[in-house]
Structure 1
Amino acid sequence: MVKKLFSQHYSTLKYLIRWSVIAIPVAIAIGSMVALFLWLLHLATNFRFTHSWLLYLLPVGGVVIHLLYKWYGSSAERGNNLIIDEIHQPGAGVPKRMAPLILVTTVITHVFGGSAGREGTAVQIGGSIANLFAGWFKLLPKDKQVILTAGIAAGFGAVFGTPLTGAIFALEVLAIGRIQYNALMPCLVASLIADLTVSAWGVHHTHYHIDDIATVQYFNGHQLNVSFLVLGKVVIASVVFGLAALVFSKATHTVKQVAAKSIKTDWLIPVC
């Protein structure tokens, strides 16, 4: 009994140490890249605000981005889909060029006033760097899946300063509701270390002020620190947000398909 218990604890300790040793350097590298990205993004945004005429050159920026991916992108142009495919079914891997390419092209987009979120950039930076380390560490396919998931958690958590959310995002969203429990600890460690790395570089996140909401509710004479009215509003809003996301996703795919069929010269697609 004692021997079995010792064996279980030893296996757990070995697992924790092994994945900490693997995840920490990956997270530091990702956090450093994210810090550079956020710093460049801040410079690009300020530069655009002081040079508003750059907005008229947005089509030129689109052509530059298109050419960069055409000449140097290779499979990197598949973006997030490539990383998700690698997690579910490891194949040729995630190209090393994906991280610098998405960083540069996102900054270019912001310089010219384009709309580009940070989450896609964070996922691709995290996945690309994690795949690079997986090759250096000569990880097995099942371990490569874990480190890719941890890399995504690190990128997402670091870019928004939300390590717990980054871990949950990587674990649940990418697995479509099925949590990879073997990746739980690596994701938490990677996301936290990456966020601390961004802070260590002196890069700060945007803070949003939210007013306090009265949540005291009485039920059967008992005081509850929750408001059922607020919860109801959150549920309704969540449904609306989900439907809006679905419409946006469908619209994006439709526009891409129509553009690909209608415009024969591919570099003109971002111009139109």
Structure 2
Amino acid sequence: MVFKRRDKRPMLSALRDALWPRTGWARAFHYVKHRINRLPDRPHRIARGIMAGVFVSFTPLFGFHFVTAAALAWILRGNILAAILGTFFGNPVTFPIIAVSSIKLGHFLLGHDRAPLPPPPLEGRYDGPKDFPPPPDGLGEIFAGAGHDLWHNFWALFTPDTADWTGLSYFFSDIWWPYLVGGFIPGIFCSIAMYYVSLPFITAYQNRRRARLKERLEAARAKLAAKREERAGRKQERREEKTARKAAQTPDTRS
């Protein structure tokens, strides 16, 4: 397999390297670039795969980026492995920029400053179904409320407690939906730009690699031909020596 390691890393080490590579982001970037350049496919298919992976990096579908990129690459008839590698455009260095810009643009496109729609009236931790809870103050409270609802609703499946979706409703209307809407425009622009940037580089790399392989093949053929000529020359010399010895051993009967 392409990405299979000889030594299996511990889970904590793999998570740490995913957040911050041990050899640095420059080394990781060159590794991904090297993998993309050496993919055995046509340049335009590889570039389409990169385009799909970069576009998916602008979506809040965390945990499903690989699957979504592979599906989009299949629809675009691009290289699926290139799409998976293209999702590394979104990383701990670029994700804060992508997230903030996408959320702000999403709120602007949706026509509200932060959370335009209150969550539906819910029973549970608040006074009654007609009371809307106060909106959370800041991103920390939004994520905390969503995490609390996930944990609470999970245990509500096994206990008499009532599920409460208030925090998740705020998270959806305030973070996830604006992120999804706002990520489309920069995602389309960046993915198309990466397609036109990567296509000539991949084409040039494959042409250079093909030329190097052709030179190596010609050199190997020339070396093999030289060895054959040398071997044929040695055989000819041995034949001549054998003929000369036979001629020397044969008595001269002419007289």
TM-score (norm 2): 0.23
| Larger proportion of helix | 1
TM-score (norm 1): 0.22
State the structure with more CA Rg: 2
